[in-house]
Amino acid sequence: MDLMGFEIITKDGEARLGRLSTPHGVVETPSYVVVGTDAHVRCLEPADIPETKTQMIISNTYHLWRDLGEEGLATYPGLHAEMGWEGPIMTDSGGFQVFSMGYGREFGVGKVIPREAPKSMLSVGSPIEASERSRENLVRVTDSGVYFMEGGEEFYLDPELSMRIQEQLGADIIFAFDEPSSPLHDYAYTKKAMERTHAWALRSLEAKTSSQLIYGIVQGGLFEDLRLESARFINALPFDGFAIGGAFGSSFGSGKGDTFEALRWVTPLLPEGKPRHLLGIGKIEDLFAAVQLGIDTFDCVIPTREARHGSLWTAKGRFDVVRGRHQNDNSPLAEECGCSACAEGVRKADLYALFKAKDPQAGRFATIHNVYFFNDLMEQIRNAIREGRFLNFKNSYLSK
């Protein structure tokens, strides 16, 4: 295999055990990609990251662009040097901020319909009353590019600039600029956003001058015909890998419709020999179901964001260590956990006290634990695929 590329080692059903090679190392897949938005995994020092079994980090093009400015970008040493991280790095394109600062902000909705969503939210294309708007939309989308409003100033980002920024940041894997849609967008707008994504994919490829791997993004929201159209269009372009983004419905197992059906529509149309990334999804049940459908990598803020608020993940479920019942709880954070926080003997009562004292070590220990947990789970999934027992492992694990 070339220095940069992807190979499938074995399959168990549609679940794939693979190797994604980059100039900064090999990622064994399926794998979690840890979020380091501003070239920093929040609460962790560079020396902490290898202790968490992390293989790859993803940083945010939009926020780095706004923080650095043109002058800062021109002299930027690159993400690897900035982070003190020698492993593979991804950067998104800035496309997610088109949604999060725009329609998502305006209506207070995420890319996934929550399980407790009202019926109006579950009805795609239903009219949204002005009274339901929560905050100001800071985005103006045009066919040429996107205008973002921050601090009373307007900033313009388009595929060409996104490519230039990502090349200067120096990630191993970059993404084409896209317009994600909302679960609340109707068919007409979702189709328009998809068509922009396709046009911007062509412009991203044309603008790219580096040897970085580049992924195209499949959009189309909750509409099967649009997802199929997008998968066929993006697949026909010379991308090194593919990402599935945009609006999804409620999570796997929600009982309100398996709206990750989009993966079942899309993955059969993507080439077997190229990597597949699921953008911004990463709950435990979602990981298992998506791996079963042939997804190779995932990025999500769950491990880091929830850690900062005292929510810890274990094989028996998630718990909030900041609740009063843990004040005198001297049990370990998780049984048989191999993370360095647990190895150092940090107990629930210890972490409770650190959070109450607003000690920075609280976020550090919790983040180390959560990131290790998700990476270790992915390692267990890889071993199960290798040994041909993925479905048994999935069913056994989720039954806990």
Say if residue 2's pLDDT is above 70. Answer: no
- Distance set, CA 81 to CA 68, 87, 169 (Å): 15, 11, 10
Average pLDDT over the chain, rounded to whole?
91
Classify residue 152 by burial, with Cβ atoms within 10 Å: 0-12, 13-18, 19+. exposed
Helix ranges restricted to H, 325-359: 340-343, 348-356
pLDDT band at 256 (very low <50, low <70, confident <90, very high): very low
pLDDT band at 159 (very low <50, low <70, confident <90, very high): very high
Taking alpha carbons only, the member of 208, 214, 218, 228 closest to residue 180 is 218
Phi-psi region of 223 (alpha: psi -120 to 50; beta: other; left: phi over 0): beta
Say if residue 29's pLDDT is above 90. Answer: yes
**Comparing 261 with 81, which gets the higher pLDDT?**
81
Helix ranges restricted to H, 84-128: 95-98, 104-107, 119-122
- Distance set, CA 143 to CA 158, 197, 233, 255, 325 (Å): 9, 10, 18, 38, 54
Interior angle at CA 270, CA 269 and CA 275, nearest 5: 160
Average pLDDT value for residue range 125-143 = 68
Residues 72 and 300: their CA atoms lie apart, in Å, by: 27
Residue ranges and CATH numbers for the domains of the chain are 92-163+174-269 (3.20.20.105)
Residues 176 and 74: their CA atoms lie apart, in Å, by: 21
Average pLDDT value for residue range 284-302 = 95
Residue 244 identity (one-letter amino acid) = I
Beta bridge partners of 317: 314
Average pLDDT value for residue range 317-324 = 95
Cite the active site residues: 92, 299
Residues 92 and 176: their CA atoms lie apart, in Å, by: 8
- Give this prediction's pTM: 0.93
Residues 364 and 15: their CA atoms lie apart, in Å, by: 33
Residues 75 and 283: their CA atoms lie apart, in Å, by: 38
In the chain, the percentage of residues whose pLDDT exceeds 90 is: 82
**CB atoms closer than 10 angstroms to residue 15:** 24
